[in-house]
A = this chain, B = another copy of it.
Amino acid sequence: MPKPSQTETAVLAVLSVEPMTGYALRETITTRLGMFWSESFGQIYPTLARLRKAGMVEVVQAEEGRSALHRLTAAGHDRLLELLAEPVVLAPPRNGVLLRLFFGEVLGPEACARLVADARRRAEENLERLAQARRDVEADAGRPQQPYWSLTVSAGEHAARATLAWADEALALLESLRASSVPGGPA
């Protein structure tokens, strides 16, 4: 069996819920999984082609005149189980904000404060998107997937709130730095 691919895992997983076009697949990943996953067309279409060739996915005509949909085969479902059981791939850390802050002396407290404020704003935007996601999940009460979806929303909420709390702390510290380094304020 070929070596596991993360894109393949995501594609098979989404198709396991419902057959759809490649375009809808990308749409679903962006809107439903966007907080913790992303795929580009340049990944999705070649992956679908490979999966088709390997018999994991078949193309079905849903309605006359409609685009053909990609549906998981039994082999595809087995493969999905196999891939989900693979060890999780941890992304190597690469946080540009923290890199800049670690060398914050170079940029100075004001520029650092702007970076932290930007990060704070992004976290707030995330919280809004998560509030919508929370409402969507609650509207699906009763579906067997509902508790699992709730889990992922909850993860985003915890992370976003942690960022907010950190940012407030950081902004206070940077303000005190600014004040002590320029006692008379900026000329």
Residues of A within 8 A of B (CB): 6, 9-10, 13, 16-17, 32-38, 80-81, 84-85, 88-107, 111-112, 115, 118, 144-145, 147-152, 154-155, 158-159, 161-163, 165-166, 169-170, 173-174, 177
A36-B102, A101-B148 are known contacts; what are 10 more A-B pairs with Cβ within 8 Å? A32-B102, A36-B95, A36-B99, A37-B94, A98-B152, A101-B155, A104-B148, A105-B148, A151-B173, A162-B162
Verify A93–B158 contact, CB threshold 8 A: no
A114 smallest CB distance to B (angstroms): 10
Residues of B within 8 A of A106 (CB): 13, 16, 80-81, 84
Copies of this subunit: 2
Residues of B within 8 A of A6 (CB): 94, 96
Identity of the chain B residue whose Cβ is nearest the Cβ of A99 in the assembled complex: B37
List of B residues within 8 angstroms of A115 by Cβ: 88
Known: A98-B37, A99-B10. A147 touches B162 (CB 8 A): no
Which 8 A-B pairs rank lowest in CB-CB distance, beginning with the nearest?
A104-B148, A162-B162, A88-B96, A36-B95, A36-B98, A158-B166, A158-B162, A38-B92
How distant is A37 from chain B, measured CB to nearest CB, in Å?
6
**Minimum C-beta distance from A16 to chain B (A):** 6
Chain B residue at minimum C-beta to C-beta distance from A156? B98
Known: A13-B103, A99-B10, A155-B166. A112 touches B37 (CB 8 A): no
- Which of A88, A169, A177 has the largest count of B CB atoms less than 10 A from its CB? A88
Residues of B within 8 A of A33 (CB): 99, 102
In the assembled complex, the CB of A82 is this many whole angstroms from the nearest CB of chain B, namely: 11
Tell me if B158 and A103 are in contact (CB < 8 A): no
Among the interface residues A115, A149, A166, which one has the most CB atoms of the partner chain B within 10 A?
A166
CB neighbours of A99 from chain B (8 A): 9-10, 13, 33, 36-37
